[in-house]
Structure formats: C-alpha cells, structure tokens
Chains A and B, each alone.
Chain A
C-alpha cells in the first residue's frame, strides 16, 4: 500500500533553534517528493520538490534531503522564526500508482519566543 508517514506529529521549539522533520514513504516507483508548508486556514505552499535522482534541495532556511534507497526524506529548518509555525506536509507524486499525489498527515511545528 502506498503510504507517506511523517514524524514527529507535532514539535515545539524555541525561536532561533534548528529542527528536522522526517518523512518515510512506501510509494514505488515515484516521480518526485515535495515538501509543503501550510499555515492555519491557508492552502499549502511549495517549499521544495525533488526527483528520485536528487539528494538535497534548499529554499532559503529550508533544506530537504532525499534517500531514495531507504525511502526517507527530511526537512531541516535553520534558525527558526515565529513565522515558521505551521504544518509541514510531505507529499509523494506517483502517477503510476493511480493517484496523482499521496499526502502525509503533516508535522505541526510551533516556534515560541
């Protein structure tokens, strides 16, 4: 069964600290893996998108890594800011699986001052 599992479910960190969010998937084969940020009451916004041949991709303070062999991805946030408080969703694209996108349940990050 194609699944995307994220951990932790929620996380609280102090402003200025770094954190890493995890994503494990069982989707195979897949086209690409995406990380989205979703603020409360808003639609998701794309942070990074990686194909199976890419190992890392950065977008400002956000760095995503991908290990296609172990089917794991991580999203590292550096020097967190209050505005980073949001839900971070890992999404795998696998058109061959019959479903365009497979969503993880997200990690809720709270950054406190």
Chain B
C-alpha cells in the first residue's frame, strides 16, 4: 500500500527557534499533500493544503508566515514552524493524496514540544 513517512518523529526545541518537518510519499507521487495538527483527545485539524509547484492554501486562522509550507517535488512537502512558542506544541500529521478515491494516506506524525 501507499506509504507516507515523516521526519523527525519527535522534536524538542527552545522557544523562538524554527523547526522543519518533512513529509515524504515513499512509493507514489502526490500532487497534493495536507498538513494537520492534533491536540490531545481532539480530532485532526487541517492546517493547509500543499500543491506541488504552487503556494499552499491555508485554512482560516492558520498563520501562513508562521507555518511555512514548501512542496518542492511530487514526493516531498515540508512544514517549517517559525519562531516556535510553547502553544505550538502539538502532534503534526501530514497526508498525501492518491488513487481513484483521492484517498489520503497519513504519515506517522511528528510530536513537537516547544520549551
């Protein structure tokens, strides 16, 4: 089946620093990838839709200057959390879209902790 990887799986950083999270589709090409964040005991919340070769589309309330998304190739999208603050601590999950149903295959997630 379609496999999506994320790196790193967890990261701890100091407040004010920037953190980059990579999302890769390992065995398929994905024109569209998605970035979600999930707080404890909550459902996934879509942050942005990432399209290869074009600017990402951000959901209402998500700061595009804080959460920089780059979809440089059909197998890689990156999310950079700039000037991270403790309130940015969360579980970030990416997904890549493929197939007849435009099914989304999710990565394993990245746990970000900002001290």
Contact = CB atoms under 8 A, between A and B. Distances in A.
A63 interface: no
Interface residues of A, number: 22
B38 to A, nearest CB: 9
A46 interface: yes
Given A43-B106, A44-B106, A105 B43 contact: yes
Nearest to B9: A41
A45 B4 CA distance: 11
Contacts of B103: 34, 46, 49
A43 B107 contact: yes
A105 B44 CA distance: 8
Given A42-B108, A43-B107, A89-B43, A100 B34 contact: yes
Indicate the member of A32, A93, A100 with the most B CB atoms within 10 Å.
A100
A103 B44 contact: yes
A10 to B, nearest CB: 10
B93 interface: yes
B42 A93 contact: no
A16 B21 CA distance: 40
Contacts of B93: 43-44
Interface of A: 31-32, 34, 36, 41-46, 49, 51, 89, 93, 95, 99-101, 103-106
Interface of B: 4, 6, 34, 42-44, 46, 49, 91, 93, 95, 101-109, 111
